[in-house]
Amino acid sequence: MPHTYFDTLIIGSGLAGLTLALNLAESKKVGLITKQALLDGASGWAQGGIAAALSESDSPEAHIHDTLSAGAGLCNEEVTRSVLEKGPQAIQWLIAQGVLFTRDPGNKTGYHLTREGGHSERRVIHAADTTGQAVQKTLGDKARAHKNITVLEYHIAIDLITSIKLGHSNISSNNCYGAYVLDNQSGKVRTISAQNTVLATGGAGKVYLYTTNPDTATGDGIAMGWRAGCRIANMEFIQFHPTCLYHPHAKSFLITEAVRGEGGILNLPDGKRFMPLHDERADLAPRDIVARGIDFEMKKRGLDCVYLDISHKPALFLKEHFPYIYARCLELGIDITQQPIPVVPAAHYTCGGIVTNLNGKTDLDNLYAIGETAHTGLHGANRLASNSLLECLVFGQAAAEDILNQTPSPTMKLPRWDESRVTDADEEIIISHNWDELRHFMWSYVGIVRTNKRLQRAQHRIKLLHEEISEYYANFRVTSDLLELRNLVDTADLIVQSAMLRHESRGLHFSLDYPDIQHYVKDTILKI
């Protein structure tokens, strides 16, 4: 494969990657790689919306307060203030790009704002219940049409190319020069060099058996950043969304938190409410509390699921506000205007990731991380609903500004990918078996409630898998399945390591061995 050069290489095509690409493209040659089609990532699956203080009754201060409260003491207040104060401007940028949010003539903003768990005000702007899809389609069309953006679909990054990996001992810092990238359609590996490389690959929900994430969420960016020498923070904080549809024919279908924001109530099979027993905010408590409440009731009573009921609302209201959920549930024989929705918690969002500063810069020169791949300090120990897409927008713009202010450095010719000592795999079934084993024991041992013994069991199995996969990687040609499994195992290891280091229960990390919260507050930082 030929050597390819871009001013900026963006790995990942979610909202963070697209925002960055469009903000750079007027003056930079941008390469945007995505391992499936352009719009197949997790951003397009977001239903609820984007949180920002847009109404007269709201303020950035109130948004900051709610975010700090949900984050259980671990949010970086400087970062939180910086991001949330930029919220209204970020929404205006999306509107200027042509995103059609749901209108409300009765609201002075002109748009319908909904409320979600943990929010004290209605501040979530949305496009019905398919906000991510609306945003991604608008920005994706612009990216495809831009002459300075090259979209490489069905390409998966293998590893970053750094000065340490190249053996450049004369360079004082560790620089990133680009990445090796597998073209899934040809099976060949590209060498792509760039002035700046950006990891925007999303989260790692597929490390768990049950998740609201698409199949692309395999922790690729986090694992690549870790292997390249980046610090990783707070990977123990995996957010489990309280309400994923429980149905044998529905895979990873999220029931947005906005359903509870508009009056939905969680009930036991006999119709009895239970969340008031767990928190005074009841069904609108932050996600970590609601997920643990559901998990507690299911285990206590031996239930397969609980029920989310919004059938007391007018049918027309539900069809107008939740058309996607209404239609999908109806396909499965559930009429949400007449009956409750069976739901269970599922892995949803990775609050930790690669440590960055306010511009998205990592520990490596010329390497950035944005979106769910990054740990910015905004989310703390638990992400407040609908802050994630806002973080993508703000850090995509911040990274673009930082890159545009740089003085370009000399380019370097990079060595091509060497596969002279490997052969085609002879037993690819090993990959699928290892993938299944990993996701099952992560769900059982490193889920919503943890213990030291469960974490030790998971760590032991991860060590065995890591050895097996490393041997496989060294001897056979790479495939996308192998690369994703390799990244999942590295990410699982980071989650377990982090969880074992936190001797308290805070936010999304709950340990039966350490049920109390500590007086001191600190991030869990891992470094090779």
Nearest to 199 by CA among 11, 24, 424: 11
What distance lies between CA 80 and its chain's CA centroid?
Answer: 18
| Residue at a domain's end among 347, 371, 389 | 347
One domain for residues 70 and 187: yes
One domain for residues 257 and 395: no
- Given this model, what pLDDT does residue 484 score? 96
44 part of a folded domain: yes
Residue 361 DSSP one-character state: B
Structure tokens at 132: 């991510």
410 part of a folded domain: no
- Given this model, what pLDDT does residue 146 score? 97
C-alpha–C-alpha distance, residues 31 and 105, integer Å = 41
Beta strands, E only, 313-433: 341-350, 353-355, 367-369, 374-375
Amino acid found at 308:
L
Residue 217 Cα distances to 76, 159, 311, 314, 526, angstroms: 25, 17, 33, 36, 21
74 part of a folded domain: yes
Catalytic residue annotation: 287
Q: What is the CA radius of gyration of the chain?
A: 22
One domain for residues 81 and 214: yes
- Given this model, what pLDDT does residue 402 score? 97
Domain carrying residue 384: 3-236+351-404
One domain for residues 195 and 247: no
412 part of a folded domain: no
One domain for residues 98 and 158: yes
- pTM: predicted TM-score of the whole model, two decimal places: 0.92
Q: The domain that contains 508 carries what CATH number?
A: 1.20.58.100
One domain for residues 365 and 333: no
One domain for residues 399 and 442: no
3-state secondary structure of 373: helix
- Given this model, what pLDDT does residue 420 score? 76
Nearest to 92 by CA among 78, 111, 75, 105: 111
- Given this model, what pLDDT does residue 494 score? 98
| Residue at a domain's end among 329, 347, 365 | 347
209 part of a folded domain: yes
One domain for residues 318 and 370: no
Per-residue tens of pLDDT for the chain, all 528 residues: 668 999 999 999 999 999 999 999 999 999 999 999 999 888 888 888 999 999 999 999 999 999 999 999 999 999 999 999 999 999 999 999 999 999 998 889 899 999 888 899 999 999 998 999 999 999 999 999 999 999 999 999 999 999 988 888 666 778 999 999 999 999 999 999 999 999 999 999 999 988 989 899 999 999 999 999 999 999 999 999 999 999 988 877 889 888 999 999 999 999 999 999 999 999 999 888 999 999 999 989 999 999 999 999 999 999 999 999 999 999 999 999 999 999 999 999 999 999 999 999 999 999 999 999 999 999 999 999 899 999 999 999 999 999 999 988 777 789 999 887 778 776 677 888 999 999 999 998 999 999 999 999 999 999 999 999 998 888 888 999 999 999 999 999 999 999 999 999 999 999 999 999 999 999 999 998
> For the chain, how many structural domains are there in total?
3
Residue 514 DSSP one-character state: S
Q: Are 354 and 369 in contact (CB under 8 A)?
A: yes
One domain for residues 84 and 187: yes
409 part of a folded domain: no
Q: Are 148 and 66 in contact (CB under 8 A)?
A: no
Look up tokens 């791949």; give the residue.
373
419 part of a folded domain: no
One domain for residues 227 and 248: no
One domain for residues 358 and 223: yes
Q: The domain that contains 274 carries what CATH number?
A: 3.90.700.10
> CA angle 458-165-523, nearest 5°?
45
C-alpha–C-alpha distance, residues 339 and 56, integer Å = 36
528 part of a folded domain: no
One domain for residues 229 and 254: no
- Given this model, what pLDDT does residue 2 score? 67
Q: The domain that contains 105 carries what CATH number?
A: 3.50.50.60
- Given this model, what pLDDT does residue 169 score? 67
C-alpha–C-alpha distance, residues 385 and 238, integer Å = 14
